[in-house]
Structure 1
Amino acid sequence: MRLKYAFIKKHSTDYPVRRLCQTLKVHPSGYYAWLAEPQSARAKEDQRLLGLIKHAWLESGGVYGYRKIHDDLRELGEECGRNRVRRLMQAEGLRSQTGYRRRPGFYGGKPTVASPNHLARQFKVSEPNKVWVTDITYIRTYEGWLYLAVVLDLFSRQVIGWSMKPRMCSDLAIDAMLMAVWRRKPQQQVMIHSDQGSQFSSSDWKSFLKANNVISSMSRRGNCH
């Protein structure tokens, strides 16, 4: 019931409350009584967790379902149940998409010389612009496949840079990093963690990182973290 009330509150600026209550089969008096209640600690935690879920969902290109989102959150150190993630995603209207897969070479392929894994699964970061992570996925659209590169600040779990192109190239990853550097303008050295894909091993990528005081960290083969 509380999820229905939360949905009504979110959309009350776009639609009449009475109509929303009628659609969701709740009484307006119950909604207004809920609105007057102070937000519980559980509800506040749900809101915080929902923010992380949204970022993970957006990072996937809007294609991950609750199972993969739950796995991502667990690997980031979040203590949450799979059913809770499913409930929050359903209430927010975040759904998985079929017809996508991870980009070729994510789990294999022949990389060039890899950078050390400086991150070493230390997902708890003390401040922003200290550790960023990046990844590439590809999704199917009505116009064909598109490649999406995303840069995430590990401190806030916020997407700070992204790039989308119709083909896989080194510029895809560099453009996403360029947006992140331009938006954040870090004053200290930043670590960027990635897999061992060729886009993150190219000479252009390495030159860009060096020019912008960014150190590369790469996961070991067969592990994206």
Structure 2
Amino acid sequence: MTKRNTREIILEEALNLFAVKGYQSVTVKEIAKAVGIKDSSLYKHFASKQAIYDTLLAWMNQKFEETVSFYRLPQGEMESVAREYGRNDLVWLKKACEAVFLFFLKDPQASKFRRMLTIEQYKNKDAAKTLYNWFFNDAILFQTDLFREMIRQGSFRDGPPQIIALQFYGPFYTLLCQYDMMPEKEEEALALLMAHIEQFASIYQTRNEEH
């Protein structure tokens, strides 16, 4: 087992505290105490509490990119991404959605980071912006562009792309919030998510021999 260095322990303990109390309510002294070091020792690794937050944000972005790459979710130009989504079957789509859903629901760091943002959004503009971008704006914009291109390519039925994106993403985020504190009901959450994807695909997805 790889031994964790002090910098990694600081990040993990800070995130543990942020997820319970929020960013603003946690002091550097509390983080240092949780790690088992003095304040002065913590500053050798991070110049400020903000530096810890910034590092956690970069860490989360990297972990998400690694998840996307690991499950081979399409990336790159929207035309090719849409073609890939249109080419793959419903089984593949379910696995892709399950991977992203479980990342935000169960990944030890990602779930805590999301909780911290939720707590902090009303007190910290940076946290509010990050929450908005991660879970609303970026997701809806991506899916709007994706569905618009899939409609153009003929793998999706015609309709308003932004509304279609909202119809797809709304239940995804609702289930994420609903089952956040109920890890024992993961199978129930996934069953509802899969049922939603099946219903959504039956409405919008077109299928022919070419696709």
TM-score by structure 2 length? 0.31
Is the strand fraction higher in 1 or 2?
Answer: 1
- Greater RCO (Cα-Cα under 8 Å, separation 6 or more): 2
Is the helix fraction higher in 1 or 2?
Answer: 2
TM-score by structure 1 length? 0.30
